[in-house]
Amino acid sequence: MIAAGPFVAVIVAFAGIYTAVSGRLPDPLATHFRFGGQADGFSSVQGFLTGCLALFLLLGAVVGFLVQVRPAAPEVPWVIAGGYATVALTGYTDCVTLLSNVDAADASAVRVPPWELFLGLAVALCAGALGRLLAGAAPVAPGQPRGAVSRLGLPATATAGWSRTIASPPLAVLGGLLLAGGLLIGLFADWIASAGLLFGAAVSLPLASVRVTVDRRGLTLAPALLSSRCRFRRIPLDRIEEAGSRHVACFAEFGGWGYRIRANRSGFVLRSGEGIVVRLANGREFVVTVDDAATAAALLNTYTDRAHSRQGG
């Protein structure tokens, strides 16, 4: 499988280098370096090997999961490319770390030249480009015509509401892994060192499940895991010109998942597919990918027409 190829290749290369130099390594190893190249972190040989192998397997599992969840999604080629780049940079760094420790009498004297970092980034870019090339063209999903709009036949005195929850299993898995890693590092090592992982979990988990609501107040996005008073975004009716629904290509239009901002548009996109497209009074668009988007857009247009009528618009 194309997605798994780089992970297998990196594990084989890393294992081969270790086998060749295992008798010439100090214990502990220098495993972390300042930007100037001086060693400032150390680990046992066994601990370093275990950590590297676990990281390779974890990265491979995450990429494999993302690809298998929606194999026909337009963003899959970019996920594969990202996997190639990530494992290439990680593998290059780990291999350089091993080779830098060879024949060192004292791990504290080990140095890694700063240019190795830039070379590693170049390797990652080349690997990512190769992954994107091997992944082939993104599948094209049929969608509704752009700008298709409608209204619900709601009696003038009646009110209605629409709500759906959008979820991202990959983001939930990522948030869970960050949380677990942060807690383990905090409990067994240092809470300061785990702060970055815990912060990532605090950002990822609320975004993994979001409730989208359309009612007489407008369009609202709120995290399903938190109180309804916590909102990511609310667009009131007086800021809306018109709403429609169409197919949204996550990577092609927004360059990724999550809350995205582009020229003249923004959006909350957790996948490619059906989405609500709201044209705002300032000329910008707001997009949210969600099931049954056509019904939501029609109800939003009905409420928007009412609001404009009351304002004399």
Residues 275 and 186 in one domain: yes
Residues 185 and 117 in one domain: no
| The pLDDT of residue 142 | 46
Query: Lowest-confidence range among 114-123, 148-157, 163-172, 223-232?
Result: 148-157
| The pLDDT of residue 278 | 92
Residues 184 and 95 in one domain: no
Residues 129 and 171 in one domain: no
Residues 168 and 307 in one domain: yes
Residues 171 and 131 in one domain: no
Q: For residue 73, name the pLDDT band (cuts at 50, 70, 90).
A: low
| The pLDDT of residue 285 | 92
Mean pLDDT score, 229-256: 85
Domain closes at, from 83, 117, 135: 135
| The pLDDT of residue 239 | 92
Q: What total number of domains does the chain contain?
A: 2
Mean pLDDT score, 232-238: 89
Model-level pTM? 0.55
Range(s) of the domain holding residue 263: 162-312
Annotate 27-50 with DSSP letters as a single string.
Answer: SSEEEEE-TTSBEEEEE-HHHHHH
Which tens digits make up the pLDDT trace of 247-301?
Answer: 888 777 887 778 888 878 888 988 888 999 999 989 899 999 999 999 999 999 9
Residues 6+ apart with CB under 8 A from 155: none
Residues 131 and 190 in one domain: no
Tokens 């067994």 found at: 188
Which tens digits make up the pLDDT trace of 141-196?
Answer: 444 444 455 777 777 778 888 999 988 877 787 788 888 888 877 777 677 777 88
Residues 196 and 121 in one domain: no
Residues 16 and 129 in one domain: yes
Domain closes at, from 135, 170, 196: 135
Is residue 144, in this structure, part of any structural domain at all?
A: no
Which tens digits make up the pLDDT trace of 1-56?
Answer: 677 888 888 888 888 988 888 888 888 888 888 777 788 888 888 888 888 888 88
Is residue 39, in this structure, part of any structural domain at all?
A: yes
Annotate 99-163 with DSSP letters as a single string.
Answer: HHHTT-S-GGG-B--THHHHHHHHHHHHHHHHHHHHH-SPPPPP-PPTT--------TT----EE
Is residue 213, in this structure, part of any structural domain at all?
A: yes
Residues 121 and 167 in one domain: no
Domain closes at, from 88, 116, 135: 135
| The pLDDT of residue 74 | 64
C-alpha 222/C-alpha 230 separation (Å) is: 6
Is residue 57, in this structure, part of any structural domain at all?
A: yes
Higher pLDDT, 313 or 97: 97
pLDDT of residue 227 exceeding 70, the answer is: no
Higher pLDDT, 75 or 90: 90
C-alpha 254/C-alpha 276 separation (Å) is: 15
Residues 131 and 170 in one domain: no
CATH code where residue 206 lies: 2.30.29.30
Residues 198 and 57 in one domain: no
Average pLDDT, the chain: 83
* 3-state secondary structure at position 305: helix
Q: For residue 140, name the pLDDT band (cuts at 50, 70, 90).
A: low
